[in-house]
Structure 1
Amino acid sequence: MLIETELCTEGVAAEDRFDHWREHLSTSYVPVEVLSDRAADFPASQRMLQLGAVRLWQTEHPRMTLRRTPKLIRRSDPEMYHLSLALRGAKTLTLSDRSADCTAQDLILVDTARPYSMAARTGPDEERVLGTGLFVPRSLLPLPATSADRLIGRRMSGRDGLGGLLAHFLTRIWADIYAYDPADGPRLGTVAIDLLSSLLAHTLDSEHALEPETHRRSLLLRIKAFIHQHLPDPRLTPRTVAAAHHISLSYLHRLFQHEETTVAAWIRLQRLERARHDLADTAWHSTPIHAIASRWGFPRAADFTRAFHAVYGMPPRDYRNHACRPAL
């Protein structure tokens, strides 16, 4: 099964539970202020799964408020997006320039670099709030900062469409946790990033009266999500990417002019990054290097070795030996 970490305050003395929970949140997530009128007895739990570079979480707790202040941001910012899916109860997210109310099956995105307040509350017949979501490094989402500003704090539906697909994926992992092996973790993380990227691109594109620049950015975001989804396919080329999005090859190249790289070079770098991650993963240590290369769209081992050496400064075998070397 996937490797899971779990905290449950019910094993702690009632008067110490809230302090224990508050300290745990600041170490497992980011430094935050935690407020609650249930502090005298705070039965709460958190489960966490590491899916490669992505973390999937699930929490259940009484009503509480999280505050991420400028002072706390200056102390520590892990540069993450935090996606939250409400499963029971309701939440109100307040930013400096906007606020959003979320109920069950709503998705909302926050940025650890921006101050916010998140108030989670229970319904009339509910004792605890239940939710799940993702911690995703900002660098892993093909999302320009200007686009992120439009999406932070915006409620998105997890009931249907791409939002429903992402919500179903997140909840099914918890339901099927015993069906996965540890090696499945990074693969599930990749799927989570692809689904989130697709949802964000769709949300941007469905805004009313899209300006040409906004349309260009959202199209590029969809294209990058498509590329991530099809990296294992050796037939993935700039021409097939253009055809899948019903644009000309020349227009695709113009879109990437702002990325300071070519389409083909960007595809190759994403493949190399996925292969590099597998080479450093001890769960893949017995898998031949040529099999990992083929898995990420390099059918010729010699081509993979040359490309890997050019980017990372050493052959893939040397990289694997160094990355998997036991700590002294």
Structure 2
Amino acid sequence: MSIRRERGSASRGDDRFYFLVLQREGSMAINRSAQTFTLHPGDMALLDSAESFEMQPNGLIAQLSIHLCRDAVDRLLPTHAWRFGKIEQSGLSGRLLHGMLQQISDGEMNLGAGQSHGAALQDALINLLQPSLHPDDVPNTGRPLRRLAERMINKTLLAPPTPAELAAMLNISVRQLYRQFELDGDSIGRYIQRQRLHCAARDLAQTGDNALPITTIAYKWGFTDSAHFSRVFKRHYSMPPKDYRANVQGATSAHNNQGHP
């Protein structure tokens, strides 16, 4: 099942905030036009309530979500700063931010402890965000480039560039490119496979005339062996593609039938 938020107006009451998210349990795929990423336990992200995006949870999840006032974020962050996506944790500011969110999640910090304290804590969180954010189009060679590499991969997910081609596009060595993923205990190959699996799961959730056969979905997303696709899908989603499709369609049907006799 997916949760979709339609584009709103920043001047509307419920679009006055950005959401600072800490993924506590489970995983959640976030899809926003051409941008796709996944939050695993311990990951952080900044989401914009005025943007249109889709969230696809993988089973049961738990998140901490903090509302940051849009006026405060726009006042403290540079106008060019990126405001949607995963937050880098390799630097000191990212680690401090993660530590604060973990303390809030564990109940060691009280966001409601007085208006002045709450405003000061909000400003501290936003200020820690800035070094972990970057312009959307211009790479900053003084910090990890993984997010930019992810965007380049996602734009050509069916035929992504080779590591050598990607490194050349980023103007870094292949070893430096590998290091960007190794910092998170990840690899380029595993990242590409996860993104293809998320896209396959999205296709499996389609119903009616838009529903494709499972074998077609496997081939569409680069899995030339349907049995291999089924194995890696089950390893990632804890159920084979057939069961995943049945569960999603069953949940959709139950939701559509609510309120009907």
What is the TM-score normalised by the length of structure 1?
0.42
Aligned residue-pair number: 174
CA distance in 2, matches of 1:230, 1:93: 33
Instruction: Please tell me whether Structure 1 or Structure 2 has the larger radius of gyration of its CA atoms.
Output: 1
Q: Does 1:143 align with 2:59?
A: no
Shift in CA distance, 65/247, structure 1 to aligned 2, threshold 3 Å: closer
Aligned AA (2:129): D
Identify which of 164, 173, 189 aligns with 1:264: 189
CA distance in 1, matches of 2:241, 2:156: 22
The answer to which of 257-266 and 292-301 deviates more is: 292-301
Kept in 2, the 8 Å contact 1:280–1:323? The answer is yes
Identify which of 128, 137, 140 aligns with 1:202: 137
Please name the residue that 2:72 is paired with.
95
Aligned AA (1:223): A
CA distance in 2, matches of 1:65, 1:81: 13
Give the drift of 1:243.
4.2
Shift in CA distance, 151/94, structure 1 to aligned 2, threshold 3 Å: farther
Gaps of 5+ in 1: 1-51, 74-78, 86-91, 111-135, 155-198
Aligned AA (1:267): I
Give the drift of 1:282.
2.3
Shift in CA distance, 151/289, structure 1 to aligned 2, threshold 3 Å: farther
Between the aligned residues of both structures, percent identity stands at 25
Kept in 2, the 8 Å contact 1:143–1:221? The answer is no
Kept in 2, the 8 Å contact 1:142–1:225? The answer is no
Shift in CA distance, 60/250, structure 1 to aligned 2, threshold 3 Å: closer
Kept in 2, the 8 Å contact 1:81–1:109? The answer is no
Shift in CA distance, 53/323, structure 1 to aligned 2, threshold 3 Å: closer
What is the TM-score normalised by the length of structure 2?
0.51
Q: Does 1:311 align with 2:236?
A: yes
Shift in CA distance, 107/240, structure 1 to aligned 2, threshold 3 Å: closer
Give the drift of 1:108.
7.8
Give the drift of 1:266.
1.3
Please name the residue that 2:48 is paired with.
82
Give the drift of 1:223.
0.1
Q: Does 1:55 align with 2:35?
A: no
Alignment of 1:1-328 (within 5 A): 55-59=5-9, 81-82=47-48, 94-95=71-72, 98-99=75-76, 141-144=85-88, 146=93, 149-150=129-130, 200-202=135-137, 205=140, 212=142, 214=143, 216=144, 219-233=145-159, 236-282=161-207, 286-325=211-250, 326-327=253-254
Shift in CA distance, 224/96, structure 1 to aligned 2, threshold 3 Å: closer
Please name the residue that 1:33 is paired with.
none
Kept in 2, the 8 Å contact 1:278–1:284? The answer is no
CA distance in 2, matches of 1:244, 1:300: 31
Shift in CA distance, 203/150, structure 1 to aligned 2, threshold 3 Å: farther
CA RMSD of aligned residues (A): 4.3
SS in 2 for 1:294: helix
Kept in 1, the 8 Å contact 2:81–2:130? The answer is no
Kept in 1, the 8 Å contact 2:46–2:86? The answer is no
CA distance in 1, matches of 2:81, 2:50: 5
